Amino acid sequence: MTSAEIVYVVDDDESVRRALSRLLRSAGLNVETFPSAQAFLGRELPDRTACLVLDVRLPGLSGLDLQAYLEVRHPELAERTCFVSGLVGTPREAELLARVPRHRLVGKPFTPEELLAAIAALAPSSS
Distance of CA 119 to the CA centre of its chain: 9
Condensed to tens digits (0 to 9), the pLDDT of residues 43-70 reads: 888 777 789 999 988 999 988 899 889 9
pLDDT > 80? residue 17:
yes
Share of the chain above pLDDT 90, in %: 50
**Mean pLDDT throughout 19-34?**
96
pTM listed for this prediction = 0.86
How does residue 122 score in pLDDT terms, banded at 50, 70 and 90?
confident
15: three-class secondary structure by DSSP: helix
Task: Classify domain 6-126 at the CATH superfamily level.
Answer: Response regulator (3.40.50.2300)
Neighbours of 80 (CB within 10 A): 24
How does residue 97 score in pLDDT terms, banded at 50, 70 and 90?
low
The burial class, CB within 10 Å (0-12 / 13-18 / 19+), for 83 is buried
Domain ranges in the chain? Answer: 6-126
Residue type, 89: G
The helix, strand and coil proportions of the chain, stated in percent and rounded to the nearest 5, come to 45, 20, 35
How does residue 105 score in pLDDT terms, banded at 50, 70 and 90?
confident
Contact 30, 7 (CB under 8 A): yes
Condensed to tens digits (0 to 9), the pLDDT of residues 65-74 reads: 998 899 999 9
pLDDT of residue 47: 78
